[in-house]
Amino acid sequence: MRTTPTILHLDMDAFYASVEQASKPSLRGKAVVVGGLGPRGVVATASYEARVFGVHSAMPMAQARRLAPNAAYLVPRFGLYRAVSEQVMGLLRALSPLVEPLSLDEAFVDLVAGGAARDADSARLVATRLRADIRAVTGLTGSVGLAASKMLAKIGSEQAKPDGLVLIEPGTERSLLGPMPVRTLPGVGPATGDHLRRAGIHTVDELAEAGEDELVRLLGKAHGQALHAMALAHDERPVVAEREAKSVSVEDTYDVDIHDRLRVGLEVRRLADRCVQRLRGSGLSGRTIVLKVRRYDFSTLTRSETLRGPTDDPAVVREAAARLLDSVDTTGGVRLLGVGVTGLADYTQEDLFAQAAGAEPEGPVEQPADEPAEERPAGAERHWPAGHDVRHAEYGHGWVQGSGLGRVTVRFETPLSEPGRVRTFRVDDPELEPADPLPLVSPRPDGAAGTSTAATGAEPVL
């Protein structure tokens, strides 16, 4: 393990909710909850204002509504979150070639590899500048941990939240870790934590004192040895620039179980197209098609079919997924469907199109559900997800506050405007259309970015 705090861990603060607040002036400083809004929805992210009421990630949305009935509840806009994430990751890659993203809002950086820092002082300077750059480019805040290992850098960023910086000096790791609960360590989830608690082990100090032999007896060789090393603050894991993807998949959970076999087939077809879109977006193809079905009784079935070679042809993937569906009994109802592709490669095998012989001509591949609207039968009511962007022919850009009973309520504002006015329309108003999200910050004439009022409270740069 290195002797300088030159591994950086960045964790954006309440990322999805913060993006929504930055793009919606009327929600700044307010409780915001992002996630699935149906009966089975769960919280993806809650703003710090919502966390005061006890709302947190992975909580059932119904429970969140009981805790914070006056919060703004929004459907995720993953296209926008990915775009903002890429801006942040670009800033990290400018520091070092060794950037290891863990999710859209979290990453490790090896500052030595890029020559950005070699000691505690230079690492602190880099981290301070990075946080300022993130604020300038995105209007958002992130928390940073600096340490000599990945484990400790992540612990540092947790301590730094929100909008802070913590540097863990080498030599202080054991005293820092000792009183912390065992769940602090990577690899200690609820089950392992309960197992250790029943053995009388509650803190990292107690974990270290138990000794390697006892932990191996309790948890098995690999897990026991790894946890004992981490309890002693030993973590040799390197920052890995590229995580090789093992699969690409998409899935949807339905608010009401699907019983109609034709509807199930149409959903599988739609999921197959979305999966191919993700494959192509990553420049990949795959050999094995996987279907996932969770039935009404929560039993989950998976079926797979391996092709002669890798493909990214939507017709091939659709047909394979349909064949797999034929082998699954869905008469009791379906609550979740998923389509995935494994055996990934960076090339395709063209003669696989023969497997789709007889299929209808290929149309455009559908985008993920958070982007273009899904196809609707003629005469069906238009769907307006809460929080998503719209444009009105007369009033301009806005976002959906809510809809129901044939009406949709829109607040007309932009990231760089003052809080806007609310207006209500018929859901089929021809002058109201879905729109793309607007940038969170305004470019300045010198090519830099002007910060939105969400970050600084200053006047927007126009």
Residues designated catalytic: 106
Residues 6+ apart with CB under 8 A from 118: 4, 6, 112
Closest CA to 285 of 258, 316, 331, 255: 316
Confirm if 144 and 127 have CB atoms less than 8 A apart: yes
User: What whole-number distance in Å separates Cα of residue 329 and Cα of residue 303?
Assistant: 12
Q: What is the DSSP letter of 146?
A: E
Q: How far is CA 77 from CA 73, 131, 227, 370, 438, in A?
A: 13, 24, 37, 6, 12
User: DSSP alpha helices (H): ranges in 252-291?
Assistant: 261-281
The span from the CA of 102 to the CA of 76, in Å, is 19
Give the helix/strand (H/E) hosting 87: helix 78-93
Determine the straight-line distance between the first and last CA of the chain, rounded to whole angstroms: 48
Half-sphere exposure at residue 386, Cβ-oriented, CA atoms within 13 angstroms: 16
**CA–CA distance, 24 with 186 (Å, rounded to integer):** 36
For residue 213, give the amino acid letter.
D
Task: State the Cα–Cα distance between residues 151 and 204, nearest whole angstrom.
Answer: 13
Strand pairing of 43-46 and 72-74?
Answer: unpaired
d(CA 149, CA 333): 48
